[in-house]
Structure 1
């Protein structure tokens, strides 16, 4: 164990350092970073990346266990993806979205090929938030209804409609937001809102609660239920078997559009092309972004079924973006989907989850008093940290900030001390390494987390 963490911590690579501090000076003087106060932020200046690692201006090599923002699925600087962007730039850099072009058309065809059966038309956007915005608009226009049901534990993006549809505290500063949003509690077996004793009860009671919410909101007023297939930023909450099927049935019973937000979990992240495939559930709309081209060029979109597509066959869809279906982004998507297929990354992610990540995390659950729960699918997992495994008191309070969040900052810094870049959210560590990670490197990263958890253990009450 010590050899692993020391070797990763001390590893450096040679990098070209033209003016190593200029980027930092310009950043501090001119950039306002997202979700940050610029006076308090000290960003790491990244000068290069390759595979599952990136390198800062001091030459330190980091193991990327977050895939940046859970989007660099095929790893950094994949030569095939870089070459596809270069070749497209030589051919056609940009064109207005009312034209057709080879890269965008092929990307749409390939996305439809890997989507669930019956979803074969794509509306392109620049990213995930815009995909959600347009999916909501499509559902409202298709049904003639106005309400959207979303979960409290959810995040759907930072644009006006997407943040209003989100459940987590990041929406608070944007309120009052877009009207017509009603919320419900989704399943979360470890912290059940329904006093369930097991996953079966959690599923049944969560669906009963959703049915009641539909009833009191008025089924004929509800255009869509917008749901993350696996809740991402709010906890990597994998729904119990039968839950998404039950949501599908409720939507069918009331003529409600089912929107699966797969921005974070689509394209192999959960060991399937789309997470809904794990339960063989077909929504009406799927929103995607991130993994479609591993974030090399901004791209997102909505995949729709025939019924919603038909709504806009003779009636113009009233929405669009200057850079929708951008040729460079779509050429990257074509190459990325090819990489998924040729390197069998979807199967690889599924195997790593079952054979490597799950056993390692379950061992940590037994070994560390700070670990209350572990959960996930494929290459997408969470470790939930607590002060007491009996009471399940979170390591930090809900929406903690400042001194209240100190234990999680200390834990994150311990991971960084050993050269691993973590994704820490609330009282959880989210594990989302690039899907190209090999088993040995994955085990090294898990060993680093195991070591860092000893820091979290110090904050336990017993």
Structure 2
């Protein structure tokens, strides 16, 4: 681990002069200058090392700088750096085969994109062309990307500045018992009422106008919301009954994050289209895609699909995906993620909840967890208001700062801590991270009122 403070200052100065950052007020940010990363850690130029409990943007499932993936990128760069998507290339075909082998059901054709938002854009386009219908239904408390259709599908405040109200999108409430929209008293009732609500939305919109229903299999940045038993199967049944395409967004939940290759595996549900990105190669080179059912793929056997990308199936990205998937299989990384969730993270986070009054609920699976932080456990009032900013967000900002001071880089969103480390996290690293969170939660506890 190198420590070069002067270099760090120069990096930050150049960044401030020339880099325009996403989701940020440019004059109010102070980005950390990162010097390197390995495994579950990254560090700055001053020698400060952070346990990465964010997996960056919940994408470094295989950890930082996995040697097999780095070597595969280097080897592919020496052989063939780039080629247009219209050619047949061994590494592209192999990446598609490896993904198709792991997707549920007959999702055996793969359309490659540069990332998750483009995958969602193309999945929606396919659904509309396949059905000839205009509307897509998506849930509040969701995130599907920042491109034109994907941001309108999104069900959180990131949509608001770009919402055109004319994108053919209708939002509905998904199940979330802790803050139930349906006044449910248990998971079974929450599931039944959420499905009844969705079917009513379909009926009032006109089933013949609805091309697709899109869901994050496990909702990601909007709360790590694990669906109750029967919900996804119920959505599948509604889609089948009305001829609606069922799209599962596995951009964040796929490739080991939930302790399975895809989160859909937990509920044995097969969608018509499945979007992926992030964990397919841990973001080492940008890559995403859509896994397509045989029926929808057949729509375009004689009819050209009107979509494409210059870098679709880029050789360097595909090489990193091949190496990632093979390494995950050979090293038992998916199984390890399941073990971490069941035996360390789940029990450890629930123990923290018993000790800290600021923790209202713990939920998750695999290496995909959230702590709902509250002012009052009885009323469930969030620690900070919905979409808080500035002084209103001070308690969460102080909590995050305490995590970083302890050597852990957290993922926080609104009133939640998301515990989303790499799938390769060791047991000792998990225990170290839980200990840092234990200390940092005392800062959140100071803002509780009941």
State the 1:186 CA deviation: 0.2
2:254 aligned counterpart, secondary structure: coil
State the 1:361 CA deviation: 1.2
Which residue of structure 2 lines up, in the alignment, with residue 36 of structure 1?
Answer: 24
CA contact (8 A) 1:356 1:439 kept: yes
Q: Distance in 2 between matches of 1:100 and 1:41?
A: 44
Which residue of structure 2 lines up, in the alignment, with residue 384 of structure 1?
Answer: 372
Q: Is 1:407 matched with 2:395?
A: yes
Q: Distance in 2 between matches of 1:309 and 1:199?
A: 36
State the 1:18 CA deviation: 7.2
Residue from 156, 169, 183 that aligns with 1:168: 156
Which residue of structure 1 lines up, in the alignment, with residue 384 of structure 2?
Answer: 396
Which residue of structure 1 lines up, in the alignment, with residue 260 of structure 2?
Answer: 272
Residue from 110, 122, 127 that aligns with 2:98: 110
Q: Is 1:461 matched with 2:442?
A: no
Q: Distance in 2 between matches of 1:319 and 1:256?
A: 21
1:68-147 → structure 2 map (5 Å cutoff): 68-147=56-135
Residue from 422, 426, 441 that aligns with 1:438: 426
CA contact (8 A) 2:2 2:35 kept: no
- How many residue pairs end up in the alignment? 450
Which residue of structure 1 lines up, in the alignment, with residue 137 of structure 2?
Answer: 149
Which residue of structure 2 lines up, in the alignment, with residue 53 of structure 1?
Answer: 41
CA contact (8 A) 1:156 1:166 kept: yes
Q: Any gaps of 5 or more consecutive residues in structure 2?
A: none
Range with bigger deviation, 361-370 or 219-228: 361-370
CA contact (8 A) 1:160 1:178 kept: no
Residue from 312, 332, 337 that aligns with 1:349: 337
CA contact (8 A) 1:161 1:178 kept: no
State the 1:177 CA deviation: 5.0
Q: Distance in 2 between matches of 1:460 and 1:394?
A: 10
- Deviation readout 1:343-375 (Å, 9 max, x if unpaired): 111111111101111111111121111000000
Q: Is 1:206 matched with 2:190?
A: no
Moved over 6 A (4+): none
Q: Note the aligned Cα RMSD (angstroms).
A: 0.9
Q: Distance in 1 between matches of 2:392 and 2:410?
A: 19
Which residue of structure 2 lines up, in the alignment, with residue 329 of structure 1?
Answer: 317
CA contact (8 A) 1:160 1:177 kept: no
Residue from 332, 349, 368 that aligns with 1:361: 349
Q: Distance in 1 between matches of 2:423 and 2:183?
A: 36
Q: Distance in 2 between matches of 1:433 and 1:176?
A: 35
Q: Distance in 1 between matches of 2:368 and 2:73?
A: 27
Q: Distance in 1 between matches of 2:46 and 2:273?
A: 45
CA contact (8 A) 2:187 2:228 kept: yes
1:374 aligned counterpart, secondary structure: strand
1:28 aligned counterpart, secondary structure: helix
Which residue of structure 1 lines up, in the alignment, with residue 416 of structure 2?
Answer: 428
Which residue of structure 2 lines up, in the alignment, with residue 221 of structure 1?
Answer: 209
CA contact (8 A) 1:396 1:404 kept: yes
State the 1:378 CA deviation: 0.6
Q: Any gaps of 5 or more consecutive residues in structure 1?
A: 1-12
Q: Distance in 1 between matches of 2:70 and 2:6?
A: 23
Q: Distance in 2 between matches of 1:254 and 1:272?
A: 30
CA contact (8 A) 2:94 2:322 kept: yes
State the 1:251 CA deviation: 0.4
Q: Distance in 2 between matches of 1:178 and 1:318?
A: 21
1:190-205 → structure 2 map (5 Å cutoff): 190-205=178-193
Range with bigger deviation, 167-176 or 424-433: 167-176
State the 1:15 CA deviation: 3.8
Which residue of structure 1 lines up, in the alignment, with residue 170 of structure 2?
Answer: 182
Q: Is 1:452 matched with 2:440?
A: yes
